[in-house]
Structure 1
Amino acid sequence: MVAFVGREDQLAVLDSLLTKVAGAIPDDPRPGQCLLIRGRRRIGKSSLVEAFVDRTPAPAVFFTAAGAAEQVELEAFVEAVSSSDLPDRAVFDDATPGNWSAALRQLAGVLPDDRPSVVVIDEVPYLVERVDAFEGILQRAWDREFSRKPVLLILIGSDLSMMEALSSYGRPFHQRGKEMVLGPLNPAEVGDMLQLPPAEAFDAALVTGGLPLICAGWPPGAGLRQFLAAELANPVSPLLVSAERSLAAEFPESAMARSILSAIGSGERTFTNIARAAGGISHSTLTRAADVLIGKRMVAAELPVALTPSKERRYRVTDPYLRFWLTFIAPHLPEIERLRGDLTLRRIEAGWTSWRGRAVEPLLRESLARLLPDSSLPAAPAIGSYWTRSNSIEIDIVGADRAPVAQQLLFLGSIKWLEHAPFDDHDLLALQRHRAALTDDPVPLLTISRSGVRVSELAASYGPDDLLEAWRRD
């Protein structure tokens, strides 16, 4: 089993909800609690809840939808209840419900009245898609039956936009449950799990995306090259197959969305270049597909943070692991399957420094946002970057009062993430020149450098140790 490093807070939330259910017996006429958990695929949502169910003495039923036809899903649900440890589960052997409304009502009827129980429905979006009016069915079952039982109902989903919509205003299940967003392991958690120093922890976070299943294959203390060599020698390793399985589930019938995602993942950032890399598709087709990717939180569309408006939108893949996979793994899967992962490894080593320099920037900006304020710089409501169409001016870090059009710039900075090249006078001169192109004000300057600094004119400088520590704060 994958160790749940960094999931203590989430397990504590589940424990507290079940404790609240137990404490409501018998005085509260509605002791039930509901929790909606969302997070991208293979992030560990199901494993987290399975670990919770395994360690609680409360009887439980765990059902996972598979995207099959309505009747097939219903039969699988009945089987899950029949094989659970609910005390009255045999009722489902004697009377098989004919529809989902009856199935949920029958399940509520066999839940204990005098002690808490747990009901888990995983991949709820599949049911919303396949079962007519499932949201309304779920809402009625909760209002009329489940909320009146001492039960913790856990609803899990990987389709982020659909799970957000499930509890949004105007939808049947609005305000029926609490929400939990499960993200990847953060860089500090990755570093702790893999026993890596701070700079290498950030590298590991980029390659694994903080996915517990991939992190579990990384030998504690091993370097990046050792990990990659072992994973690339195994055609079914999680590093190789996790992205493909996630994409197959997200886009079972949309080759265009995958094509555009591949173009962005390979390094194309502008609308025109993405359209060209995706085969010369029309702008309207790209717009529709990009909207789907953005809605699924797989792609971010960003504008420069500046004092004046800009239309120079750029796109990036939000998940660093998927970005790594699209760049280095996906185009060369055939050679890996021929057990020539050594060729892929050489290609990664040749392109690693350049790829990492760009891929690490969003993660470092988020780390800085967690770190500030400190004795040198204020907190910034918005931390982004700035660029021009020609890329003649690029500023890696722009802290401002709002984005993308700011009223006040709070600080500007440069990221230099190289092993043996500290931030020096040449880098400072370039940053000062770019500041002059953006504003006449003496906005404070900073750097984030992997290898330290050789100048003293900066307002602040941060290294891997500082930024990793920011993730340990509550």
Structure 2
Amino acid sequence: MRRFIGRDRELRVLRAAFEEVRDAAGSAKPGQCILMRGRRRVGKSSLVEEFLRRAEAPSLFFTAAGGSAEDELTELLDSVATSTLPERELFAEEVPGQWNAAFRLLAEVLPDDTPSVVVIDEVPYLMDRIDAFEGMLQRAWDRLLSRKPVLLLLVGSDLSMMEALNSYDRPFHQRGREMVLGPLNPADIGEMLGLEPAAAFDAALVTGGLPLVCAEWRTGASLWEFLRDSLDNPISALLVSAERSLAAEFPPHAMSREVLRAIGTGERTFTNIARAAGGIAHTTLTRATEVLTEKQVVAAELPLSPRPSKERRYRVADPYLRFWLAFLDPHMAEIERMRGDLTLNRIKQQWTSWRGRAIEPLVRESLARLLPDGELPAAPAIGGYWTRSNNIEIDLVGADRQPVAKQLLFLGSVKWLENSMFDSHDLAALHKHRAAITDDPVPLVAVSRSGISCSGLQATYGPENLISAWHRN
């Protein structure tokens, strides 16, 4: 059994909230609520289970399954029966037939003088299937639950619905504090799998930091060993996790799925996505991209520069899903007939060029966490710059705001190759591209997997520098 890796900051937040509840026991409203959201399979339930194990407090863990209101209520009763709440027998003696009654009875069985934890997982299912659920939850919290020393954890995978739960025009507004759970970061992945920094970034691009996928990576195994093992196993987490997540969020034949596939295979502009998705209508594509961006599955980005631009580009936001759509989804038939070797060879052939672009968002996020560092100032916005013809592309643009900057703080290039250093030719190209965006002597930066062989840069970064940014958590 693997030991629990990472999530130190999140565990501290949960522990602090629990201690607030414990310290406030006996006051008028000692209860605390946390709204936890994160994409499916990112490890929300595992985090909560680890917190409960460490807290050693009476607890209830209920997971909604997307059934009818009656079915969900039955599942809640079963969860109470198997919980560690001391007065759980009351639910068997007085079976509630309505959700309002269930909330009232739950408040009665919670301890009065010792802290407890109540977890409701996949809350968006309840919001979607149960009439007036948010209003019932709000009344139960205000009048009953918050008066008990309880930490209420409301957990959900639909990011937009969980954000809406706490929005100003909804009943539960400002009742809970928000916690966003992302994937395991590159430093956590490196520690978990015994990988050097460069290899840890490769692992982050393939697994997306999803704990279930990382758990199948043998400690110390190389990227290619992991992929070989996963492709030989038709039920590996690498192969099945994406399809399960997409099936839960999008109907199998929804146009959003076709648009997502087009973006995942490398199309980035509106016109090219429409063509790759079968020549769909402008209005249909607009709605599909809106759904994908609202759910934060796709990122829609504009060039970052002093001049406004309409050259919007789209990319799959989750690294694992991006890898799966590019390399695995189109070739599931050959993998299922045990020809994963063909898929693996195809990945090897395309890996260098695919990784070179896929690493850029992760480099930008690493720099955002790392700066300021003595060489460069903190940059409120870090993005990229491109033109419609792609004759000018700048991997890294640091600025005071986005997408239209008042001040450029630095410009940079990412060269993420195995055996090729950032050299004077790369620097000359960066100088040329800087001249196309500004006349000012904006500092130049290079990020290289294999080192730097030239001078004239304000700052340089390699895998070791970038991964140190994630250790600050």
TM-score (norm 2): 0.98
| SS state at 1:471 partner | helix
Quote the residue 2:78 is aligned against. Answer: 79
Task: After TM superposition, give the deviation of residue 283 of structure 1 in Å.
Answer: 0.9
- Partners in 2 of 1:306 and 1:232 — Cα distance? 42
Deviation at 1:254, TM superposition (A): 5.3
Per-residue CA deviations over 1:71-104 (Å, capped at 9, x if unaligned) read 1111111111122122221121122211111111
- Give distance in 2, aligned partners of 1:86 and 1:2: 28
Equivalent residue for 1:452? 451
Q: Does structure 1 retain, via aligned residues, the 8 Å contact 2:25–2:148? A: no
Query: Per the alignment, do residues 254 and 37 of structure 1 end up closer, same or farther by CA in structure 2, a change over 3 Å counting?
Result: farther
Shift of 1:35: 1.1
Equivalent pair of 1:206/1:320 in contact (CA under 8 Å): yes
Letter in 2 for 1:380: A
Contact persistence 2:112–2:148 (CA under 8 A): yes
Deviation at 1:9, TM superposition (A): 2.0
Q: Which runs of 4+ in 1 moved over 4 A?
A: none
Letter in 2 for 1:243: A
For residues 430 and 8 of structure 1, what CA distance do their matches in structure 2 show?
Answer: 42
For 2:10, the aligned partner's letter is Q
Offset, 1:252: 2.9
* Distance (whole Å) between structure 1 residues aligned to residue 2 and residue 312 of structure 2: 39
Tell me the equivalent position of 2:418.
419
The structural deviation recorded for 1:63 is 0.5
Flag structure 2 segments of 5+ consecutive residues without an equivalent.
none
Whether the aligned pair in 2 keeps the contact of 1:3 and 1:216 (CA below 8 Å) is no
Matches within 5 A, 1:48-63: 48-63=47-62
Q: Distance in 2 between matches of 1:370 and 1:404?
A: 19
Aligned counterparts of 2:438 and 2:202: Cα–Cα separation in 1 = 34
* 1:37 and 2:36 are equivalent in the alignment: yes
Which position in structure 1 is the counterpart of 2:46? 47
What are the residue-to-residue correspondences of 1:123-138 with 2, within 5 Å? 123-138=122-137
Paired letter, 2:183: P
Q: Indicate the larger mover: 268-277 or 212-221.
A: 212-221
SS of 2:174's equivalent in the other structure is coil
- CA apart distance, 1:240: 0.6
Partner deviation per Cα, 1:108-161 (whole Å, 9 max, x = no partner): 111111211111100000000000010000000001110111111110000111
Partner of 1:472: helix, strand, or coil? helix
Change beyond 3 A, Cα 1:115–1:34: same
The match for 2:218 is 219
Offset of residue 400 of structure 1: 1.1
Matches within 5 A, 1:168-247: 168-247=167-246
Match of 2:10 in 1: 10
Moved more, 230-239 or 4-13: 4-13
One-letter amino acid matched to 1:19: E
The CA deviation at 1:70 is: 1.2
Measured after TM superposition, the shift of residue 55 of structure 1 is 3.1
Question: Which digits, 9 at most, give the CA deviation of each residue in 1:245-267, with x for residues without a partner?
Answer: 10010113552111101100100
Determine if the alignment matches structure 1 residue 409 to structure 2 residue 414.
Answer: no
TM-aligned CA deviation for residue 2 of structure 1: 5.2
Question: How far apart are the structure 2 equivalents of 1:47 and 1:373?
Answer: 34
Larger mean CA deviation between 80-89 and 312-321 belongs to 80-89
How far apart in 2 are the matches of 1:437 and 1:18? 54
Amino acid at match of 1:206: L
Does the residue aligned with 2:14 lie in a helix, a strand or coil? helix
Identity of aligned residues (%): 68
Q: 8 Å contact 1:2–1:212 — kept in the other structure?
A: no
The aligned runs of 1:26-425 (5 Å cut-off) are: 26=26, 28-252=27-251, 255-425=254-424
TM-score calculated relative to the size of structure 1: 0.98
CA contact (8 A) 2:30 2:149 kept: yes
